[in-house]
Amino acid sequence: MVMGGDYQGLGIARSLGRLGVPVIVIDDERSIAGASRYVRRTVRVPDLRSEEATVAELHSLVEHHGAQGWVLFPTRDEQVATLAKRLVQLGAWFRVPSPGWGSIKHAWDKRATYEMASSLGIPIPMSWFPDCVEELPDVTRARPLIVKPAVKEHFFYATGVKAWRVDDAGALRSRFLEAQALVQGGGVIVQELIRGSGTSQYSYCAFWKEGQPIAEMTARRLRQHPSDFGRASTYVETVECPPIVELSRRFLRAMDYYGLVEIEYKRDPDEHTYRLLDVNARTWGYHSLGHAAGVDFAAMLFLDQLGDSVPRVVATPGRRWVRLATDVPNAVVDLRAGHLAPGPYLRSLAAVDTEAVFSWRDPAPWLAEVALLPYLAVKRGL
């Protein structure tokens, strides 16, 4: 049972479909995964954002679609939070590959994320957690600042961005008050902006169980959309990055984590350290890169939920993933701004191992995405 049918959900469906596993997609938006040859049924529902509505829709699937005992795969943070908070109730209906709220809260709220990271000696950007404008930091610093939510759910859906950059006291005050009005008590974080583009952003991706990694992949997000505060990767390459492996293992053991996870870092060129930015306690947009690199994350988690033995694996470096629907228009903007050269860009596309949506073995979702591009551009900025 895949909760969300965008390209992330499509990747899960393909991973399971290759195993011959029947897949149902449940979504509250128009999406592409339902066109896949690997999806048995798509169920459109009114709401998968609120906790109560999500639980009600899942219960309906048990009653009307025979989904008792199926494995749940959330694709959005609010779904992860619902599964963790209602683990006992949902666990009576489904197999829920998630730890409880005591673990998930350290990924859900960035204040808890940064508090745990700091206690473990894991570098984070310099951050402030003001409750009012009187507690805002001085903006006369060497680095610019950003304003972002501690819990991104309401903020992201309202603004379509992950953070705002501010360069003076007036902008900081204005953006802080605007963010406060959007987060509904979730808290606002003011943070120093680390220099560097997407090429400075790295991720640790894993299937984690009983204090140990079962599968690991480290990647560099070479391009993202938008280029400054990317809400989604557009071009990613697997790399070897031992420093973030050690930091991530330390964090996940302290978190007592189980399941799939992506931990995002940015390399600080001034301090020569990797600073933890975010923890995604679920599949991530480019998780299908794992299949090309020898680590099929969704399939491994499914088999573990069924009690099958899953061998330990590490991803092969040098594998590349792209989502053309966002990478090409973003590249046009960067080319015009002089931040990207045509030759290297075209060579990067020639080196791609897997595309987020297009597949010769399963072409219908790509055709569906082309048809839905105007809707996706308006609904979620692609």
**176-192, pLDDT tens digit by residue?**
999 999 997 779 999 99
pLDDT at 374: 80
Assessment of whether the complete model's pTM goes beyond 0.85: yes
The pLDDT tens digits for 109-154 are 999 999 999 999 999 999 999 999 999 988 776 678 999 999 988 8
Judge whether 263 and 251 are in contact, CB under 8 Å.
yes
All structural domains of the chain, each given as residue ranges with its CATH number in brackets, are: 2-104 (3.40.50.20), 126-192 (3.30.1490), 198-358 (3.30.470.20)
When pLDDT is cut at 50, 70 and 90, the band that residue 209 belongs to is: very high
Pick from 63, 61, 52: nearest CA to 27: 61
Instruction: Identify the bridge partners of residue 212 per DSSP, sorted by sequence position.
Output: 209
Judge whether 7 and 356 are in contact, CB under 8 Å.
yes
Q: How far apart are CA 231 and CA 78, in angstroms?
A: 16
Helix axes 324-336, 364-380, angle to 10 degrees: 50
Tell me which DSSP letter residue 91 carries: H
pLDDT at 199: 78
The whole-number average pLDDT for the span 308-317 is 97
Percentage of residues of the chain with pLDDT beyond 90: 82
Judge whether 320 and 236 are in contact, CB under 8 Å.
yes
Tell me which DSSP letter residue 71 carries: B
Size (the chain), residues: 382
pLDDT at 214: 98
Pick from 33, 31, 13: nearest CA to 23: 13
Q: What's the farthest any 2 CA atoms get from each other in the chain?
A: 60
When pLDDT is cut at 50, 70 and 90, the band that residue 259 belongs to is: very high
Half-sphere exposure (CA, 13 Å, Cβ side) for 166? 28
